[in-house]
Each structure stands twice: as structure tokens, then as C-alpha cells.
Structure 1
Amino acid sequence: MDQQLIVFVEVVERKNFSRAAEALHMSQPAVSQYISSLEKEFGLRLLERNNKFVQRNKAGEIVYQYAKDILRSYNQMTVHVSDLKNEPSGELKIGASYTIGEYLLPRILAALQKEYPRIIPAVTIGNTEDIGQKLVNHEIDIGLIEGDFSHKQLVVDPFAIDEMYIIAGNHQKLKDQETVSVPDLEKETWIIRETGSGTRKMLEEFFQNNAVNPERILTFGSTQVIKEGVTSGLGISLLSELTLQKELELGLIHKLNVKGTPIKRNFSIIKNQQEFHSKALQVFEQIVKTVL
């Protein structure tokens, strides 16, 4: 592999020769020499430098994009060749949306570790939109998401059905009602997830389909914080039953009887069809489907 390209990409992404040298376990003069040699090879400057930062110019942007593709292809080649002779191994970059990442993924990873200890998972947790975009950008190898994410590069494979309920805490009177009407729902404070969340998308569809216009909405970026808010009487919410097991058993949270619920959605595996799918990725996918 061309060390010049590795050094160049590191300098561009860290925007600093010293930080790049540290990451590569090299001296700063050696890094500078690699960059100078690459610029000499192309016959023009690729990076603009001053005392505070290093920034790629137009030519540097072209070289950076091609270098990223070359390095990614090289890594895929080494994994592919390794797969022919070895059991699944190496780093597997997994992205998961919050509900799956916090409540399902630990069980999946435990099964993966037990069966394939040489696979090293590197996990990224984000909302559905974040995970889908990271897969499109080749930042992760595989994603597990709730709800939908569509892109021409991605293959979507549902692996489980999730049920979502409108919930209230002990402080809300709605928990004692046999049925809850739209006007009842509108008067309550709703605690909802951030834009880009699969849970947020399902709730917005519920509002639209049932003509619900809440008087007050609070937005939180964490399912756990939403549950704490509901438990303390701050408001009501819509969450996956998967996230509510402990609170339901303790009687801290109650499912409301609302027409149109539970709401069902898919949990899905998403893969980039433009990428080579390693043996490690394939066995991880099978474990996801087997465990659940």
C-alpha cells in the first residue's frame, strides 16, 4: 500500500501534521517529507498550510477522494483474501439506531463474541437517519435500524417486528381511562424524540393519521430520558415495548388504550450494495436473525 496516500489522508482528516504524525507513530519531519514527495509527484501543491491549520485545496480534494477510495478498496481486498483461508475475523463496523443499540445489540454481540471471538465489533449508536447516512458514506459496514431509510445504494432486510405503545406514568389520569380519545391526547404534554429518529417518524405518522395536534411538545434525544420524564409525570410518549419491560413490570409506566395502537414497524438490517460483504459481516447478519 502506498504510504504517501495513507499519510496524506491522515493529514487531511486531522488538519495538522503533528496530530497525523502522532496517529501514524511517525515523526513530523517524516510526515512532511511524504507530503512533499506526493506534491512533487503531481507537480503542484495539494495542501495550504499556515501556523494554525492545514487545508486541502482543489487539487488536494481530488487526490483525497481518490485516495479514500483506493485505501478502502485495498482494505476490502485484504479482507476478501483473508476470508478464503481463515475463519471470520477482524474489525466489523456496526451502526445501530438507539432502540436497537441500547436494548437488542448487547445480546447480539454476546452471541457473536461467543461463536466468533476473532471478530472485533466497533459500534456506532445514532438515530436511524444518522446510521443510514454513515452506511452510504462507507463509515460503517452494516446497520441495524428501526423504521425506514431509503437510498439507492442500500439493501434493506427486515429481521423483526416491533410494537409501539402510547404510555403514561402513575401521575397521569389517562392511565385509568378505559379508552383514550384524540382530545384527551391533545391536552397532554408529549415527550418526543429528535428529528431523524425512527421513533419520532412513527409518532409523526400517528399524529397525521389520527389528526392529533398536541398543545405542548418537548423534544428529548434519549429514550431513557423520555421514560424518566413519563415516570415523573412530565408527559406522555410513544415508545417501543422493547424499551419498557422493566418499567412495566414495576408498574411505573402504563400502556394507554388508544385506537390505532400498538403501532407496528420493522427492525431492519441495512447494507451498502456497493461494498464487498466480508465473511465477518455475513456471519453477524445470520446471528442477528438467529438471536431474535
Structure 2
Amino acid sequence: MALNFHQLHIFHTVAEKGSFSHAAQALHMTQPAVTMQVQSLEDYFGTKLFARSTKRVELTESGRALIPFARRSIELMKETDIGMSKFTHMLDGRLHLGASLTIGEYILPRLLGPFSQEYPNISVSMKVINTKQLLEEVLNHQLTFGLVEAEVSHPDVHTEAVLSDELRLIVPKQHPLADRERVTVDEVLQFPFVLREQGSGTRRVMEEELEKAGYAPDALRIVMELGSTGAVKSAVEAGLGISILSQSSVRHEAALGVLKVKEIDGVRFDRSFHAIYLNSTLLPISAVTFMTFLRERDLSQWL
């Protein structure tokens, strides 16, 4: 029997999860299949890699010695996929991903067309939900990977910046601030706000940057919370309040003049859009290719 990467990946996942059953769930395999692959690896090396108990498996001395080699093999495989993704123009298959609301509604639709032209044999399926829901689906193995508007901190999740974005103050065309070149935070706080719901990446970035500038989130006079960027834009256009949104999401309304986009002195709402996926997941080559496309192309021509 020859040593293979698949077995090393399974071994590493069992060690990381501390359980054959949890590793099987993470790898979308049955527990007997995981056990069989680990046993094959133990037969190959002629040593036990795990000490098994009723509650948890622990690495033996030989298992601990194998871990760094398994980890390096996984990293090398990831680097190989990234390196080769630049040349996979004849690649076919299916790209299934999740996207948080602003990305899914306003960013990716402008990028999927150029991506599909370059990779015409990859079919795309995208689920659009908020950041909190997307993280839950990744953790529950309902989605392989997703793109979110705020960095996610979770021990089981890998987070990687792939796109840049900036939030700006959005006001209706007849608003007192509409013709001002620049405004201060104190001036902005005098007006009612229409915001995205708690749990959205846009809301989180806005609140974090205001806190860094010395303003507590409860300093905002919030009159309405809405579940989509489109609903927030419509409410602002109707004069119900002002908001802070991705400038990419209001490009059309700003061009028509129905909404005005403003900077706030002393505060910048710069952010990165992040790809998230489980640490135990090796992404399919279609997903790696898409992430390489996002990182390395000049996207400004489409955004």
C-alpha cells in the first residue's frame, strides 16, 4: 500500500477534532470509512497513531511525530491549488458558495459575469444570507465556503481577506447634509438613522469604527432596522433617515442623484470582504480558482 494525501488529511482532521465521529462529520464521510483510513495509515507505518478511549482519541508518540508532516502536506496541497488555479481556464464543475447580503446583492453579480466569461464551464450557485446565518451554515457543513462583510473569529473557521470595500454616509437628495462637501460625526449624530439589522457585517463594521473614534453605538438615534441593503436604501430615499452603507451598493442611486454619498471627517469605514471556510476543509479547485480571481484581478472596472 502506498502512502496518500487523503489518509494524511483524514488523520490530521481526527487529531484536530479529537473524535472519529466529529472528523467524519467535518469530512462528509461515514465514521467507519474514517476509521478504516486511519487503520490503513497505521498499518502502513506499523504503529498506532491514536490511543482510543470511550470519550476521546489522543495522539500517541508516533501520532504526534506525524502531525507536522500531515500539516505540511495539507498546506502544500492548498498552495498547489492556488498556484495552478491561474491556468485552469478549461476547468469545469460547479461552484457553490454563500454570500452575505451586500456582497451577494451588489458585489458578486457584477463579478460573476466576467468570471463566467473566463471560466465558461463552471456553473455557479450562490446562497445569499446574512453573516451570522452564513457562519452557522459553514459550521454545520451546509455550505463549503462563503464570502462575508466582516472578519469572523471562530476557532474552527479559516478567514481570508479577498476584496476591499468602503462604507460611506448615505443621505437623501433633499437632506440638510446633501450639499455639504464633508461632515463631522457630531453633525451626523443629530439625525435619525436607518440601519441594517444586528448580525449584519455592514452594521458590525460601522459600529466598530465609530467605537474606535470614541462614539458608542447607542449614540446613534436609530429609528428603523431593516433586513436588507435594498430596504435601507429605499427608506433613506423616502426621507426616513440617513445610513452608512457600502458605496458599491448605492452606485446606481448616486448616479441618478436620488441619494448622496458623503465622507465623515475623522472616520473611515474601510473593510475587507472575507472568504470563510472550515479549517478541516480542502476547498474544491473551482472555489480556489474563484478566490484567486477575486484577489488577483483588477475588479474596479466592474465595480
TM-score (structure 2 length as normaliser): 0.64
| 1:188 CA displacement | 1.1
Give deviations 1:83-115, integer Å, cap 9, x for gaps: 9xx964433320111111112212332234333
Give deviations 1:192-231, integer Å, cap 9, x for gaps: 0011111110222244334261234310111111111111
167-176 or 252-261, which deviates more: 252-261
Q: Does 1:72 align with 2:28?
A: yes
Task: Please give the secondary structure, in 2, of the residue aligned with 1:187.
Answer: coil
Separation in 1, partners of 2:117, 2:244: 35
Separation in 2, partners of 1:161, 1:237: 20
Separation in 2, partners of 1:119, 1:237: 37
Q: 1:279 to 1:192 in 2, by over 3 A?
A: same
Separation in 2, partners of 1:267, 1:70: 25
Q: 1:283 to 1:148 in 2, by over 3 A?
A: same
Deviating runs (4+, > 6 A) in structure 1? 65-68
Separation in 2, partners of 1:140, 1:195: 22
Name 1:226's counterpart in structure 2.
232
| 1:144 CA displacement | 1.2
One-letter amino acid of the counterpart of residue 144, structure 2: D
Q: 1:270 to 1:67 in 2, by over 3 A?
A: closer
Name 1:119's counterpart in structure 2.
122
* Contact 2:195–2:222 (CA under 8 A) maintained in structure 1: no
Q: 1:283 to 1:235 in 2, by over 3 A?
A: same
| 1:180 CA displacement | 2.9
Which stretches in structure 1 are left out of the alignment for 5+ residues? 1-64, 78-82
| 1:152 CA displacement | 1.8
Give deviations 1:153-191, integer Å, cap 9, x for gaps: 222221222111111112211223454344432221101
| 1:121 CA displacement | 2.1
| 1:116 CA displacement | 3.2
RMSD value, Cα: 2.9
Name 1:195's counterpart in structure 2.
198
Figure out how many residues of one structure are paired with residues of the other and give that number.
Answer: 220
Q: State the percentage of identical aligned residues.
A: 31
Q: 1:94 to 1:180 in 2, by over 3 A?
A: same
Q: 1:260 to 1:70 in 2, by over 3 A?
A: closer
| 1:66 CA displacement | 7.7
Q: 1:278 to 1:256 in 2, by over 3 A?
A: closer
Q: 1:131 to 1:260 in 2, by over 3 A?
A: farther
* Contact 1:111–1:287 (CA under 8 A) maintained in structure 2: no
Equivalent of residue 215 in structure 2, options 201, 208, 211: 211
Q: 1:259 to 1:274 in 2, by over 3 A?
A: same
Q: 1:70 to 1:175 in 2, by over 3 A?
A: closer
Equivalent of residue 110 in structure 1, options 106, 110, 113: 113
Task: Please give the secondary structure, in 2, of the residue aligned with 1:268.
Answer: strand
Separation in 2, partners of 1:71, 1:147: 26
Note the 1:250-289 alignment, pairs <5 A.
250-289=256-295
